[in-house]
Amino acid sequence: MQKSKKARSSISGQSSQTQVLESAEEVIKRQVAANRREEIRRYLQLFGYKPERSILQVHVAGYFGRRSGRREPTPQEALRRARSVERYGAPTFVVVGRTHDPSIMERLVPPKKGKGDVEKSSPGYLGYLFKKMDKESKSPDELLPLDFVPINLDYPEDWKRMFATRGFLVAMHVPSDFAKKKNELMRQLRQMRRSVDVRKPWDFLSELESYGYERVKSRNENFE
């Protein structure tokens, strides 16, 4: 009899937890703009994101860049990064935003073991989103939770409390010819931090377009 009560209690607890997560997602859906998915895609495209080809990596916040409990890269990794910076002017890998919604883990492709790759060997690396590997052939931007917030902008504290997770960082490799120019885009986002409420429509995207990949690429081609 006691076991039956415990089982019912356990099931009830799991059901209650699911309801809390679902209600959190519904609360956010009501708070953000109706076209938030379109805004997320537009934002990612500023970094050269291509829905058909780009891969978005997902890392647990607080573990990003660590390797086997160490923050310092191995000599081989440091050399690889230095060569990348020398060739492209800056690293191509960048964190583009964050989410605290754990549902993102449901669609991740399990990580591959990368030799000498700092981000892939990190203990916080959970996996990646890639259209060709998704069971419904959805692009990565379609799979990101609606609480996704651009890098350098404040994530709402009440959203954090609803999900009660450490958070998940979303990262990608930008095109090599944008590696150095992406820093200016990141700088503009930092300057907007105090003036942007991410719940409201992302009107700031129009201001960032001139610093985005397509616009920068077009300017460079015109000067060649």
pLDDT above 60 for 138: yes
DSSP structure class, residue 73: P
pLDDT given at position 219 = 81
Cα separation, 105 vs 131, whole angstroms:
15
pLDDT given at position 77 = 52
Per-residue pLDDT tens over the stretch 52-93: 999 999 999 987 655 444 445 555 555 555 555 544 445 899
Cα separation, 139 vs 52, whole angstroms:
6
pLDDT given at position 207 = 95
CA angle 93, 97, 98 (to 5 degrees): 125
Cα separation, 54 vs 108, whole angstroms:
14
pLDDT given at position 119 = 56
Cα separation, 3 vs 15, whole angstroms:
18
pLDDT given at position 118 = 52
Phi-psi region of 38 (alpha: psi -120 to 50; beta: other; left: phi over 0): alpha
pTM for this predicted structure: 0.78
Looking at 132-136, 149-153, 182-186, 216-220, which range is the least confident one? 216-220
